[in-house]
Amino acid sequence: MKYDIKDLKLAKKGKLRIEWARQNMPVLDFIEERFRRQKPLKGLRLAACLHVTTETANLMRVLKTGGAEVYLCASNPLSTQDDVAASLVKDLKIPVFSIKGEDNKIYYQHIKAVLDAKPDITMDDGADLVSIIHKEGKLNPLGGTEETTTGVIRLRAMENDGVLKCPIIAVNDAETKHLFDNRYGTGQSTLDGIIRATNRLIAGLYVVVCGYGWCGKGVAMRSKGMGAKVIVVEVDPVRGLEANMDGFQVMTIADASKIGDIFISLTGDINVIRREHFAKMKNGAIVANSGHFNVELDIDGLKKISKNRRVIREFVEEYTLPNGRVICLLAEGRLINLAAAEGHPAQVMDMSFANQALSAEYIKNNYKKLENKVYKIPEDMDKNIARLKLKSLGIKIDTLTPQQKKYLASWQEGT
Ligand code: ADE
């Protein structure tokens, strides 16, 4: 299989939706303009394993405009927007290996298909490309980028074990990424996914948010805004305290499982909601995952304690427990914001993907100096993306006066 040729009728729909997203991606546009003139990625083969969305399509075009030969596969079996994949193949001639709803076997075949291109640079969302490259030991890319918290955690573990074989730029660590994409993007799109899947009113419900990182903070904030009574579950004492002083109830998952109406896990860890918690839930409780992998929910445990299950509407599977209560699992525990909705809106992906495009250029220019480590984005790059975003929004900020600069640089008291 070379690559999936999509239903070409879908491509027209995808093309228009990609254009719609582009209207809110001015920073990426600005980068594309320079890439068109300078072709900084010329001669590079770039393999991307990202959610195949309208926003990703805009990034793929920018990388191609910069001179890269681009190959794309999905970073989750349920997150592909097939019309977007079709348009990328037809209109931009970018090989795309993904289809919404692919099973695990096809998912990994598609990852291997982009690796057959022998990429110089990898662009991951969850570290699947890099981990397979390391398992197989056949390729030696110049470097890679990583989009998400879970991927950065995996890659730092590889670095700590001394097995990482190329430098990685942790896009997720850029302030212009996680403060906006993780917080406001996940906050809105997770609720969007839950609402599209269930059509439930959020107001008045107990929403249990497991994990109070940037993603959890966003979901808690937006759930509160929609009238939910929010309960936060944490393992980190500082975050637990932070959630408490942000005005949320904080308790263990064992206690929260008896109270919640909607459960959302976003921790990056495994088995956060386990069978003993499902067993205590109220009739009709809704359970969703918005962390990168569906391992956050003990779905096997839920299956084992259930006597029946049925899909009652798209993305909603009811599990009936022996006590007669029903638990509603959304989107097979996959990322709810991408499976049942469209992922984060373009306004935040603009900054995340500006970081991706500039990181690819940074690797090309600096790989000889870089060690096999996970690097933060250079601070000036991060600030520059924020400046461009502010400019596109027509927002002006102040600059320090020479006197203020001098004051901040001095250690003496007073003036
Ligand atoms: N991750 C979350 N939302 C996304 C989007 N819209 N596109 C690509 N990756 C995403």
186 lines ligand 1 (CB under 6 A): no
| E strand map for 164-235 | 168-170, 206-210, 229-233
335 lines ligand 1 (CB under 6 A): no
Contact 74, 102 (CB under 8 A): yes
Of 168, 189, 218, the C-alpha closest to 53 is: 189
Q: Give the span between the Cα atoms of 251 and 230, in whole angstroms.
A: 11
Task: Name the DSSP letter for residue 273.
Answer: B
Checking DSSP bridges between strand 249-250 and strand 316-320, what pairing results, if any? unpaired
51 lines ligand 1 (CB under 6 A): yes
- Ligand 1 centroid, distance to 342 Cα (angstroms): 8
- Ligand 1 centroid, distance to 55 Cα (angstroms): 7
CA distances from residue 260 to 95, 208, 289, 306, 353 in whole angstroms, order as listed: 44, 6, 15, 19, 35
72 lines ligand 1 (CB under 6 A): no
Q: Give the span between the Cα atoms of 151 and 146, in whole angstroms.
A: 6
Q: Could you tell me which residues come within 8 angstroms of residue 218 by beta carbon, excluding any fewer than 6 positions away? A: 182, 183, 184, 185, 186, 187, 188, 190
Could you say which residues of the chain have pLDDT below 50?
1-4
- What are the structural domain ranges in the chain? 8-177+344-393, 185-339
- Ligand 1 centroid, distance to 344 Cα (angstroms): 5
- Ligand 1 centroid, distance to 367 Cα (angstroms): 27
Handedness of CA 196, 202, 205, 210 (dihedral sign): positive
Right CATH for 185-339 from 1.20.120.350, 3.30.750.24, 3.90.1150.10, 3.40.50.720: 3.40.50.720
Bridge partners (DSSP) listed for residue 287: 263, 329
Instruction: Please tell me if the domain spanning 8-177+344-393 has the same topology as the one spanning 185-339.
Output: yes
Query: Domain 8-177+344-393, what architecture?
Result: 3-Layer(aba) Sandwich (3.40)
56 lines ligand 1 (CB under 6 A): yes
Contact 254, 231 (CB under 8 A): no
Residue-level pLDDT at 104: 94
List the Cα angle 275/277/282 in 5-degree steps.
Answer: 120
**Look-up of token digits 């993305």:** 315
344 lines ligand 1 (CB under 6 A): yes
126 lines ligand 1 (CB under 6 A): no
The predicted model scores a pTM of 0.95
Which of 54, 55, 61, 188 to mutate for ligand 1's pocket (most ligand atoms within 8 Å of CB)?
55
Residue-level pLDDT at 8: 72
